[in-house]
Amino acid sequence: MNKKLICFDMDGTVYLGEHLFKGAKETFEYLKQNDISFVFLTNNSSHSLKFYVEKIKRMGIECNEDNFYSSIDTTIRYLKDQNVKTLFVLGVKTFKEELKKHFQLIEDYQEEVPDVVLASFDTELVYDELKNACLYIQKGSKFIATNMDYRCPIEDGLYIPDCGGLCKWIEMCTNKAPIFLGKPEPTMIYQVMEKFSVSNKETMMVGDRYYTDIVAGLNAHVDTVAVLSGETTLEEFQKATKKPTYIIDSIADLIDLLEK
Ligand SMILES: [Mg+2]
């Protein structure tokens, strides 16, 4: 198989919580030896790239910031392409700091309506912000969201509300649905392919969740590899109308697949 870039989901694909999956280390060593680039894609905008670099390094995989692409990068690039100047953001402090480098952020409610209301995985949300977001959208701000995930997995099989859930709340009030940017939209993969100057035929997407990882790959017209080490089961993958290109038990089987 002649792949030059492999995009990986992280949680459920490479590791679970703090536990690196068997065979993951060998897989990344194989990719390096064979000159295949790898990028970890994340929809989570509540952590900086530095956070992920440290986490993956701690698990024993050599990497740097170039090996990561998040919904933060995707969003900044998208908003710049759209010539957006002013934003009202529902998001954590670190995300807002990153956005401030590129856009004017409106903090409170004011007469001037921002170009965009941007929703993200906001673990620091307060009601007044939610209210202001709804008012701005009703007054004409575009509604954009970093990712459509309704919930985010935590330990013990439990979930907490994510960006998509938050957007539902706003949608119920404003009757407006957002434009979503992270997986399963293909935008993130398109941007990464451009960054690494590779074609869709040379790219592959590996992930555990059908409706985000695999659908993102399908939408971007790249080969997709579903792993059974995470959220979606074999039955669910098989039931899907548009199926992943390959289904493997875990990341440990990826080398064999690439050797074919
Ligand atoms: Mg996952």
pLDDT in tens, 169-179: 999 999 999 99
78 domain-assigned: no
Q: Has residue 210 been placed in a domain?
A: yes
- Which of 180, 208, 243 corresponds to the end of one domain? 180
Asked if residue 229 is part of any domain, the answer here is yes
36 CA distance to ligand 1 centroid (A)?
A: 21
225 alpha carbon – ligand 1 mean position (Å)? 12
Q: Is the pLDDT of residue 166 over 80?
A: yes
Residue 62 lies in a domain: no
pLDDT value, residue 45: 83
Calculate mean pLDDT across residues 61-85: 95
The H or E element that residue 227 is part of is: strand 223-227
Please tell me whether residues 21 and 105 are part of one structural domain. no
Residue at 164 is within a domain? yes
Q: What is the DSSP string of the chain?
A: ---SEEEE--BTTTEETTEEPTTHHHHHHHHHHTT-EEEEEE---SS-HHHHHHHHHHTT----GGGEEEHHHHHHHHHHHTT--EEEEES-HHHHHHHHTTSEEP-S--SSPPSEEEE---TT--HHHHHHHHHHHHTT-EEEES---SEEE-GGG-EEE-HHHHHHHHHHHHS-PPEE-STTSTHHHHHHHHHTT--GGGEEEEES-IIIIIHHHHHTT-EEEEETTSSS-HHHHHH-SS--SEEESSGGGHHHHHH-
**Is 220 found in the same domain as 167?**
no
How many percent of the chain have pLDDT more than 90?
87
Q: What is the CATH number of the domain that holds 107?
A: 3.40.50.1000
CB-CB contact of 119 with 167 (8 Å): yes
Measured in Å, residue 86 CA sits from the centre of ligand 1 at 32
210 C-alpha to center of ligand 1: Å? Answer: 9
The rounded Å distance from CA 42 to ligand 1 centre is 9
> What is the distance in A from the centroid of ligand 1 to the CA of 232?
9
Last residue of a domain, one of 152, 180, 208: 180
pLDDT digits over 134-143, tens only? 999 999 999 9
117 occurs within a structural domain: yes
Backbone angles phi, psi at 148, to 5 degrees: -95, 0
Same domain? For 165 and 108 the reply is yes
Report yes or no on 63 lying in a domain: no
Q: How far is the CA of 226 from the centre of ligand 1 (A)?
A: 10
pLDDT at 8 (0 to 100): 98
The pLDDT, as a whole number, for residue 157 is: 79
Residue 85 CA to ligand 1 centre (angstroms)? 33
First to last CA, the chain: 6
Phi-psi label, residue 83: left if phi above 0, alpha if psi -120 to 50, beta otherwise: left
Do 156 and 89 reside in the same domain of the chain?
A: yes
Residue where a domain terminates, one of 165, 180, 195: 180
Q: Are residues 138 and 191 in the same domain?
A: no
- Predicted pLDDT of residue 260: 87
> To the nearest whole number, what is the mean pLDDT of the chain?
95
Average pLDDT over residues 92-113: 94
Ligand 1 centroid, distance to 114 Cα (angstroms)? 33
Query: Over 90: is that where the pLDDT of 53 sits?
Result: yes
79 pLDDT above the threshold of 90: yes
| Cα of 224 from ligand 1 centre, angstroms | 14
The answer to whether residue 221 scores a pLDDT higher than 90 is yes
Asked whether the predicted pLDDT for residue 51 surpasses 80, the reply is yes
Mean pLDDT of 79-93: 96
Are residues 175 and 188 both part of a single domain?
A: no
Q: Which residue has the tokens 């954009």?
A: 144
Q: Is the pLDDT of residue 190 over 80?
A: yes
pLDDT score of 116 more than 90 = yes
Using the predicted structure, report yes or no on whether residue 47 has a pLDDT greater than 90: no
**190 and 123 assigned to the same domain:** no
How many angstroms does the Cα of residue 54 sit away from the middle of ligand 1? 18
Ligand 1 centre distance from Cα of residue 174 (Å): 31
Write down the residue that tokens 């555990």 correspond to.
208
Distance 83 CA to ligand 1 centre (A): 32
Residue 1 has pLDDT above 90, yes or no: no
210 DSSP assignment: I
| CA 248 to centroid of ligand 1, rounded, Å | 15
Residue 55 lies inside a defined structural domain of this protein: no
Distance from Cα 134 to the centre of ligand 1, integer Å: 30
- The mean pLDDT of 215-241, rounded to a whole number, is 96
CA 57 to centroid of ligand 1, rounded, Å? 18
Tell how far the Cα of 227 is from the centroid of ligand 1, in angstroms: 9
User: What does the alpha-carbon distance between residue 210 and residue 55 come to, in Å, rounded to a whole number?
Assistant: 24
Report whether pLDDT(218) > 80. Answer: yes
Instruction: Please tell me the total count of domains within the chain.
Output: 2
Asked if 74 and 146 count as a contact pair (C-beta separation under 8 A), the reply is yes
pLDDT band at 17 (very low <50, low <70, confident <90, very high): confident
Question: What percent of the chain lies above the pLDDT cut of 70?
Answer: 100
- Distance from residue 12's CA to the centre of ligand 1 (Å): 4
Quick check: 13 and 251 in contact, CB under 8 A?
yes
Which structural domain, as residue segments, surrounds residue 170? 83-180
Whether residues 170 and 194 fall in one domain:
no
CB 121 within 8 A of CB 46: yes
155 has pLDDT over 80: no
Task: Kindly give the distance from the C-alpha atom of residue 15 to the centroid of ligand 1, in angstroms, as a whole number.
Answer: 9
Token pair 């590899």 in the structure block, residue:
225
Q: Which amino acid appears at position 104 of this protein?
A: Q
